[in-house]
Amino acid sequence: MDQRMSDRNAGVTTEFERDVVKLLLEAMRAVDKQEREDVGTESVLYALVSGDWAAGSAIAPGMRAAGSLGGSIGCRGTSVWVSDDAGDGVAGNPDDEREIDAFWRVVRQEEAKRLRWKNRKKKEEEKKSLELPPMTGALRTCLRKAMEAAREEGTISVRVRHVARALVELPDTRAREAMAVKKLDVSAVPKALDALRESDEAPEPTAVLVLRKAGTFGKSGNPLTRKFTAWIFGGGAGFGSAVVGVVHSEAQRKAVRRGASEVEPVDVLLSILALERSLTVAGRELPEKLTAANRGAELLRRHGVRQDAVTRVLLPTTGVAEGEPPEVGDTGDSGRRLLHVTELTASAQGSSTVGTTHLLAALLDEKGTDAESAAEIERVLTECGADVAGLRAEPELRVPGGAAQAS
């Protein structure tokens, strides 16, 4: 898909896609096995050349070169390197810094979740520590430069090849030191990485993956998987489609990105906008039969709400807390009430499916949340420059017996 900047992705965040999360998880697990003190550029280089990554093959072509480089990195402890992997010390774009922090929280949370699962049946003294290693300054610089490279390319998706190029081009790092030790000629690597752009498949964010598996875009894949996924995310809850279930699930990821310990209504609000971003990067659109019930993002945009602006308001600027990542809890009774009012609104409007239009209506009304949450949503929308009164006045966003209808 051509992701050149257009009206469709104006006001949309530039983010690391799922492949970069996977790469950093591989790097973090390698750090644990090799008993390193931090996740540095050499750890990411090791993951690239040791795994099944096209970008790794561009850096070290052939099994011999890749194996030699990976083995060389794997046998060197943190204290061996001359470079301290400190980075360039340059302050980046505030939006990019927030995205790097949010991305790193997701990586840490997923690794902690994996370790908790492995620890569940172990004796206390055998359990793996959830104190995860920090990121080096050079790796942070590398991620920042990868974001800049993606933006220069005209895409809102940061991919593994962007990270790999920044890794190769950034001087005075452990990764460059490792390549120098093995006498790798890196001069041709940028061109080889650029060539991967032509073979890039459109990224498939988790939300789109689930929708596809639920049969939202048509029948494909295993019929049993399709029916099961559709039931879990839509049919079993009575939504008629998987969209609201996917948005509700995505809200947990938004809470993780914020560093929150539980999902809040503002996370659901951001997830409505994030779903549209996910569809954009995947080159997908909801089928026509679902569009009327899923105009939440469209109505938000109509009244001046943009995903990047909401993200800017919600993501903290305080960095990533070290130590054990918290388990993120669901919304509990408040979440169930929100979904109940969402379904009630869809029923009152005679809609055959429950969608983001009805979910947005419930979010904007105290009946769907509570006074505190409604006030927080209004604060976020106001700080984003939205016309909140105009948004609430939309006929489709009225909850049965709600404040907007009563007025």
157, 184, 199 - which closes a domain: 199
Same domain, 184 and 310: no
Question: Tens of pLDDT along 84-134?
Answer: 999 888 888 899 999 999 999 999 999 999 999 988 888 887 788 888 999
Question: pLDDT band at residue 7, thresholds of 50, 70 and 90?
Answer: low
Contact criterion met (CB below 8 Å) for 239 and 358: no
CATH number for the domain spanning 23: value is 1.10.1780.10
Same domain, 322 and 178: no
Same domain, 161 and 228: no
Half-sphere exposure of 31 (CA within 13 A, CB side): 24
Q: What is the pLDDT of residue 74?
A: 93
Same domain, 319 and 356: yes
Q: Report if residue 46 sits inside a domain.
A: yes
pLDDT of 5 above 50: no
Give the residue-averaged pLDDT of 36-42. Answer: 95
Q: What is the pLDDT of residue 325?
A: 86
Give the residue-averaged pLDDT of 367-382. Answer: 93
Dist. CA 253–CA 373, nearest whole Å: 19
168, 199, 230 - which closes a domain: 199
Same domain, 231 and 155: no
Q: Report if residue 141 sits inside a domain.
A: yes
Q: Report if residue 2 sits inside a domain.
A: no
Same domain, 375 and 243: yes
Give the residue-averaged pLDDT of 276-284. Answer: 95
Give the residue-averaged pLDDT of 56-63. Answer: 94
Q: Report if residue 319 sits inside a domain.
A: yes
pLDDT of 370 above 80: yes
Token pair, residue 169, equals 């081009």
Q: Report if residue 273 sits inside a domain.
A: yes
Sign, CA dihedral 148-153-155-161, equals: negative
Using a pLDDT cut of 70, give the percent of the chain over it: 94
Give the residue-averaged pLDDT of 375-394. Answer: 95
Same domain, 159 and 277: no
Q: Report if residue 1 sits inside a domain.
A: no
pLDDT of 331 above 80: no
Same domain, 330 and 371: yes
Same domain, 263 and 210: yes
Dist. CA 125–CA 112, nearest whole Å: 17
- Domain region containing 91: 7-199
Instruction: Find tokens 């390193």 and name the residue.
Output: 36
Same domain, 172 and 316: no
| Average pLDDT of the chain, as a whole number | 90
Q: What is the pLDDT of residue 322?
A: 76
Overall number of domains in the chain: 2
Q: What is the pLDDT of residue 3?
A: 44
170, 199, 228 - which closes a domain: 199
Contact criterion met (CB below 8 Å) for 160 and 23: yes
Q: Report if residue 332 sits inside a domain.
A: yes
